[in-house]
Amino acid sequence: MAQNHCRFSVIDIENLYNAELLCKSRCLQEKGTESVSAQSFLHCFNLCSSTFNLQIATPGGKPIDFVDVDETNMRLIQDFRMKAYAGPAKLESIDGARYHALLIPSSPGAMSDLAHSGYLAKILQHFISEKKPVCAVGHGVSALCCAVTEERAWIFRGYSLTGPSVLELVRRRDFANLPIVVEDFVKDSGATYSGSDSGKV
């Protein structure tokens, strides 16, 4: 389980067994706030695209806003933006029942928007109730924090998660203003959390 052009990247997918994958990144509109990691998204996209038909979906259907774009992935990002399937659908219109898996790439801004998204919460609740696979990578783990029931219980209680450590978050310039510290939330909500090595997710 993150800029100016908000994006929640969803990947709608159908594999050899007609399974579909929904890959979501996060979207954030605040100026100067991070969005989806270009490297993480490309890894997820390339891993899935050889087997699945992909559809991108974002909050409000806005374009994906990538961070950490460098010389090695800039061309790949440009090529991706030229594809017909790069135009995202709206997260708000996503029906979780149509999908068989959920993938959330590393999205630093997810702490600010997806971690509190009611739309994503409904999708996650469906996936867990139907025992469908959910994968969140790096900062994307924070998006899972939204999945709280009406009784204020977290649906991932008892799970074991891995994501960025508090030490890694402290290195962020905006640490004091982060709306949520995922490791603290996860542990306080009854799950187990393992901090990854900095820069490894």
Judge whether 196 lies within some domain: no
> What is the C-alpha separation between 104 and 21, in angstroms, rounded?
10
| CATH assignment at residue 99 | 3.40.50.880
Note every long-range contact of 167-170, with CB atoms under 8 Å and residues 24 or more positions apart, other chains counting.
167/195, 167/198, 168/195, 168/196, 168/198, 168/199
Judge whether 44 lies within some domain: yes
Domain span holding position 128: 20-150
The answer, yes or no, to whether residue 169 has pLDDT greater than 80, is yes
Judge whether 82 lies within some domain: yes
Judge whether 99 lies within some domain: yes
Mean pLDDT of 120-127: 95
Judge whether 63 lies within some domain: yes
Mean pLDDT of 63-79: 91
> What is the C-alpha separation between 150 and 122, in angstroms, rounded?
11
The answer, yes or no, to whether residue 186 has pLDDT greater than 90, is yes
Please tell me the predicted confidence (pLDDT) of residue 155: 97
> What is the C-alpha separation between 24 and 142, in angstroms, rounded?
12
**pLDDT tens for residues 9-57?**
344 333 323 334 454 443 333 333 458 999 999 999 888 888 876 777 7
Judge whether 10 lies within some domain: no
Going by C-alpha positions, the residue among 184, 191, 188, 182 that lies closest to residue 160 is: 191
**pLDDT tens for residues 87-118?**
888 889 999 999 888 889 998 888 888 899 99
Domain count, the chain: 1
> pLDDT grade, residue 140 (50/70/90)?
very high
**pTM of the complete model:** 0.79
Judge whether 194 lies within some domain: no
Please tell me the predicted confidence (pLDDT) of residue 197: 66
> What is the C-alpha separation between 16 and 151, in angstroms, rounded?
39
Judge whether 183 lies within some domain: no
Averaged pLDDT score across all residues of the chain: 80
